[in-house]
Amino acid sequence: MLIYEKMNDIAILKATGFSGYGVKIIFISQALIIGIVGGVLGLLVGFGVSVLIDNAPFETEALPTIKTFPVVYDPLYYIIEIVFALLATFLAGYLPASKAENIDPVDIIRGQ
């Protein structure tokens, strides 16, 4: 979907001398920036919600020694989250970028 929205921009970039590889790098860079920002915000919000849940009272007769919801703060989970965020956004940027790399700017301009 992103390619069809950015067709004019791709045509202008290619007409001004950007190679297909250059356009591909731009798409991937944008995707990775979104992935980094989204991943860091997700980590911060997730950690904040975990702290809130960890401090919420939890009293049940089945588990008399537990006074709050049990939360695991294992760094491995946070590493998995950031890697998954970067991988997902890389793929979401790479697949359209591969298509954009092969688009002829003349075809885009004629199609309007």
What local confidence, expressed as pLDDT, does residue 52 receive? 94
What local confidence, expressed as pLDDT, does residue 111 receive? 67
Strand partners, 68: 57
Task: Give the C-alpha separation, 55 to 67, whole Å.
Answer: 9
What local confidence, expressed as pLDDT, does residue 62 receive? 80
Contact (CB, 8 A) for 7 and 15: no
Domain extents for the chain?
A: 2-105
pLDDT digits (tens, 9 = 90+) for 27-82: 889 889 999 999 999 999 999 999 999 898 888 788 788 888 888 899 999 999 99
Helix (H/G/I), strand (E/B), else coil: 66: coil
Helix axes 20-55, 7-15, angle to 10 degrees: 140
Contacts of 16 (CB under 8 A, 6+ apart): none
pLDDT digits (tens, 9 = 90+) for 1-21: 566 677 777 777 877 888 888
